[in-house]
Structures are given as structure tokens and as C-alpha cells.
Amino acid sequence: MSDKQHLVFTTLSRREVLMAGVAGAAAVMLSSAGVRAQPPATPPVSPKPASLPKRKLGTLEVTALGLGCMNFCHGYAPRTSKEDEIKLIRSAYDRGVTFFDTAINYGPFLSEEAVGEGVEPFRDKVIVTTKFGYGYDDAGKNVGLNSKPDYIRKMTEASLRRLKTDYIDLYYQHRVDPQVPIEDVAGVVKELIQAGKVRHFGLSEAGGATIRRAHVVQPVTAVQNEYSLWTRDPEHEVLPTCEELGIGFVPWSPLGSGFLTGAITPETTFDPKLDLRANRARFTPEARRANWLLIALLHRVGDRKQATAGQIALAWLLAKQPWIVPIPGTTNGKHLEENLGASKVELTATELKEIEDGFAAIKVQGARTTDALRKNHDIGADLGTSSKGGHGNSPLPRR
Ligand SMILES: NC(=O)c1ccc[n+]([C@@H]2O[C@H](COP(=O)([O-])OP(=O)(O)OC[C@H]3O[C@@H](n4cnc5c(N)ncnc54)[C@H](OP(=O)(O)O)[C@@H]3O)[C@@H](O)[C@H]2O)c1
């Protein structure tokens, strides 16, 4: 997008942006309902993609914003097709994005397939990340955590096949497995790195103690935990640990699962079968009404800068540390464009203070996730030093 186009976009009124969002969502719904005259042609890949500012996660250079590639097949509704996701990935590349996030359990497997096909024409120019750590039965059903070394080796081969590549740039453990010492997990990833199948090691929803123990065996390049204006848990120990050890941080759900864009009102309904927000305490109509104070705060700052609420939420993350790289997820090209516009929004120290002071005066209503999902989080990620319950000493013996 040229500067002029960007200016035009960021000068749209909030109503126009919302209208654009509605039109995009309608198009998505039409395509997911199969109302398409003909199958999409293979999207062309621009010979000269736009460029975005770069950042470093440890030693790995990536674009300041990545693309979360989960949403078309997992977590949210309405769902879109693999073809639409491939189109979105290629249009993100044309707009300068070279950092794509997926995992085996998105779909399961569908997101890895879409990313593999989507980036195939420019594989060597992008950073592809995926995650291991869940087990599957023969029918492809998720049967819980599994970071056993042999299983990781097997799943790596399958991920490489789906991603149509012979190396994974950044390979995260999706959730800490309390049955497997983190040293064993780091050891397998080290082996995979030595074999050239993986380039960098990452952890997701890990606490400080786990990060430290893993880092001794195989340096960790990035930690991917939930972090956004209304989910501040990593500030307790994970961000300081990352800073101390020179590890990058990738916030997931950086837009608060869409809430921080202001596009979700108390009246919005969620598909109870497909959309995780239908069961989240933070997304009940009452909670959304109470949490709307956050949107008012983001609009207050954004309106003065001709930026949307979502752009301010992302710019706030970008301003926190130069080694923080958000990966907003979307199925919608207009939203993608809006989100990337956040890389041009610079918040001053006064504006950052206004956001912090405003946030401090708001009590966010509703837990960030369900108790069932939280069971799989390394509690140190949220509450202070812990590695699955042991205050820095894993309940499993160190080797
Ligand atoms: N490591 C982990 O455990 C973990 C967990 C969850 C997610 N992730 C990764 O993190 C990525 C991002 O997280 P997320 O998708 O859960 O949350 P998110 O990025 O905070 O929000 C996604 C939601 O916001 C909406 N949205 C995005 N841009 C928008 C805009 N400009 N205006 C209005 N709505 C907008 C999307 O809908 P539309 O599709 O309509 O735009 C979607 O419903 C995922 O894709 C995945 O790769 C990792």
C-alpha cells in the first residue's frame, strides 16, 4: 500500500471502517456458504511485494507484524475455505508480511496445509512457524498433550509434508507437557535443528521457569503467549525473562480475539459450536458492555491520530518492546490491511501514559479463557514463577 493509499485508509471514519468490515464479513459468509460463481483463480504473486518494518525475535528477523493463519479453520466463525486462506496469505505477502503462524491443531492440519500451499511460490523469502505438542489418534482426533520425543519426531515429518518444505523456521511447543521434562523437549528440538529440519525453537504459554530450563538446553528464539491491552499476564514474569535472556515475544490474540477492534458489540452473537468466544466469560453480553470502556479509551486516542481502535491496540504492543511481534489473525483482506496500518502508528510517551492510566482505571470483566483451556497453560505464564506447579522446580526430575 502506498503512503497515499494508507492515508486514505486511515482517514476513513470509524463508521466507514465498520461498514467495510461488514461488507468483508458478508463476502466471507457468501464464500463460506459456497455462493461463488466459479472457483478462485490461483492468486498471482506480486513480483515486488511492499515492505514492512522489520524486527528481531532473538536472532530471527521477521516483519513487525505477522499473520495468524488459524482463523479460517479454528476458533472462530464463520469459517472460510482453504482457497480463501491461500488468497489471504498471498495478499499478505504482497503487502509485505513475511511471518506466518500456524500449528498442527488448527483444523487440525488444515491451516498447515493452507500455509504450505500459500507460501510455496515464495517459501525462501518468508518465515514459517508451526507448533507441536498435541497428540492425535488414527481418526485425527486430538487426544491431549503429547510432547514425547519420538512423537515430536514423527509429527515434525508430517508438518514438513503439509507445509511443503524441508525446514520449519520457528518450531514452538504449543503447550508445556507436564509428563515430559522440558529439557527432553528442548533436546529433541536441538536434534531437529542439527538435522536442518528446524531453524529456531519457541515455546507457547510457557512460564518463566520453563523458559529458563529450556533455554539452557537449546536457546529459545521466541515465546508465544496471549498478550494484549486487556490480557496483561506476561508482564509479571514472562516479558522480564524474555528481556533478560534475549528472547523475542509473539503475542497471540493481540486484538483480544477481535474485541479490541471495536467491531464486537454487546449485541454480536457467536456460533456456539464453532466460535470459542461463545463460552468465554469475557464475551458474555454483560462483560462486553462493561469492557466497552476499553474501546472508548482506544477510540479516544485513535481519533486524534486518525487510527482505528484495533490499530491503537496493535501499536500499543509494538511500542512496548522492539522484540515484540504481534500476529493478528483474520480471514478478511480489509481487516488485514487495517491491521498492517498499525505499523505506521507511533504512540508518544504521553499517549502511552494515557492508555496505561485509562487501563488502570478499568476493571476488565471476565476471565481470559475457560478453566478447561487454562489447565493446559503453564501457570507460571500467568501468576509468577512456576513450571507446571513447582515454583520454578518442575515436579518432574531434572536429568
Ligand atoms: N499459541 C497459542 O496458543 C495461540 C492461541 C490462539 C491463537 N494463536 C495464533 O494467534 C493468531 C491471532 O490470535 P487470534 O486470531 O486468536 O486473535 P486476534 O488476532 O486478537 O483476533 C482475531 C479476531 O479479530 C477479528 N479481526 C481481526 N482484525 C480485525 C479488524 N481489523 N477489524 C475487526 N475485526 C478484526 C477476526 O475476525 P475476521 O476474520 O473477521 O477479521 C477474528 O475474529 C491466530 O491466528 C493464531 O495463529 C496462537
Cα-to-centroid distance, 69 and ligand 1 (Å): 9
What mean pLDDT is predicted for residues 253-280? 97
Question: Is the pLDDT reported for residue 104 higher than 60?
Answer: yes
146 lines ligand 1 (CB under 6 A): no
In the predicted model, what is the mean pLDDT of residues 248-270? Answer: 98
State if residue 338 touches ligand 1 by the CB under 6 angstroms criterion: yes
Which among 210, 141, 202 has a CA at the least distance from the CA of 379?
210
Tell me the average pLDDT of the chain.
Answer: 87
Range in 5-19, 149-163, 379-393 the model is least confident about = 5-19
Q: pLDDT tens, 335-360? A: 999 999 999 999 999 999 999 999 99
Tell me if the pTM is above 0.75: yes
Q: 127-149 burial by CB neighbour count: b if 16+ within 10 A, else e?
A: bbbbbbbbbbeeeeeeeebbbbe
Does residue 1 sit in helix, strand or coil? coil
Determine whether the shortest distance from the Cβ of 256 to ligand 1 is under 6 A.
yes
Q: In this predicted structure, what is the pLDDT of residue 31?
A: 33
Query: Is residue 93 within 8 Å of residue 333, measured between CB atoms?
Result: no
CA of 327 to the centre of ligand 1 (A): 8
Cell of 118: 500459500
Query: From ligand 1's centre to the CA of 236, what distance in Å?
Result: 23
Of the listed 106, 136, 151, 171, which one is catalytic?
106
Query: Domains plus CATH for the chain?
Result: 3-383 (3.20.20.100)
C-beta 369 within 6 A of ligand 1: no
Q: Does residue 219 register a pLDDT over 80?
A: yes
| Per-residue b or e along 43-59, where b marks 16 or more CB atoms closer than 10 Å to that residue's CB | beeeeebeebeebebbe
Q: Kindly report the protein residue whose alpha carbon is nearest to atom 31 of ligand 1.
A: 335
Residue with the nearest Cα to atom 10 of ligand 1? Answer: 252
Task: For residue 256, report the distance from its CA to the centre of ligand 1, in Å.
Answer: 8
For residue 261 and ligand 1, the question of a CB distance below 6 A is answered with yes
Q: What's the average model confidence in pLDDT over 264-272?
A: 97
Provide the pLDDT for residue 38.
43
Mean pLDDT of 119-130: 98
Ligand 1 binding pocket includes 302 (Cβ within 6 Å): no
Ligand 1 site-directed mutation target among 32, 71, 74, 223, most atoms within 8 Å of CB: 71
Q: Which segments of the chain are extended strands (E)?
A: 54-57, 60-63, 67-68, 99-101, 127-132, 134-136, 142-145, 168-173, 198-204, 220-224, 248-249
Is the beta carbon of 110 within 6 A of some atom in ligand 1?
no
Phi, psi dihedral angles at 113 (to 5 degrees): -65, -45
- Residues 247, 221 contacting (CB under 8 angstroms): yes
CA distances from 356 to 32, 170, 186, 271, 364 (A): 40, 32, 36, 33, 13
171 is catalytic: no
* 326 CA from centroid of ligand 1 (Å): 10
Cβ of 330 less than 6 Å from ligand 1: yes
Residue nearest to atom 48 of ligand 1 (CA): 252
Q: Which atom of ligand 1 approaches the CA of 28 most closely?
A: 40
**% the chain with pLDDT above 70:** 83
DSSP structure string for 51-91: ---EEEETTEEEESS-EE--TTTSSSSS---HHHHHHHHHH
Using the mean position of ligand 1's atoms as its centre, give its distance from the Cα of residue 252 in Å: 8
* Ligand 1 and 70: CB distance under 6 A: yes
- Mean pLDDT for the stretch of residues 313-338: 98
Residue nearest to ligand 1 atom 19, measured at CA: 328
Lowest mean pLDDT among 113-127, 289-303, 340-354, 370-384: 370-384
Question: 284 alpha carbon to ligand 1 midpoint, in Å?
Answer: 18
- pLDDT at residue 222 in the model: 98
Q: Is 331 in the pocket of ligand 1 (CB under 6 A)?
A: yes
